[in-house]
Amino acid sequence: MSFIGPKPVRLRLDAVAYESLRQWVLRRDGWRCQACGTMSNLEVHHKEFRSHSGHDSEENLITLCNACHACVHGHALESGQ
């Protein structure tokens, strides 16, 4: 099966613009994991993964701690948490 037509456009920011957006998302979310509420080891997660045409946009990003982020992606934690 082949795909006919143009590829979907994905919005990806350069490193400087992405870091600015990342900081904005962290501030918006009150520097807290939106799943468990911790304020440690925070990361910004794409709700719709980039690999599934998710955009680098404020609507598609959420603050998660590294433990919750790993759970979302189905990875076991090495620290045993």
- Tens digits of residue pLDDT in 23-59: 999 999 999 999 999 999 999 999 988 777 778 899 9
- Side-chain half-sphere CA neighbours of 33 within 13 A: 18
Per-residue pLDDT for 5 more than 60?
no
Q: Which amino acid, 25?
A: V
63 closest CA partner among 29, 23, 39? 29
DSSP code of residue 78: T
Per-domain boundaries in the chain: 15-72
pTM of the entire predicted model: 0.74
Chain center to CA of 78: 20
Per-residue pLDDT for 66 more than 70?
yes
Query: Three-class SS of residue 64?
Result: strand
CA torsion 36-37-39-45 (nearest 10°) is 60
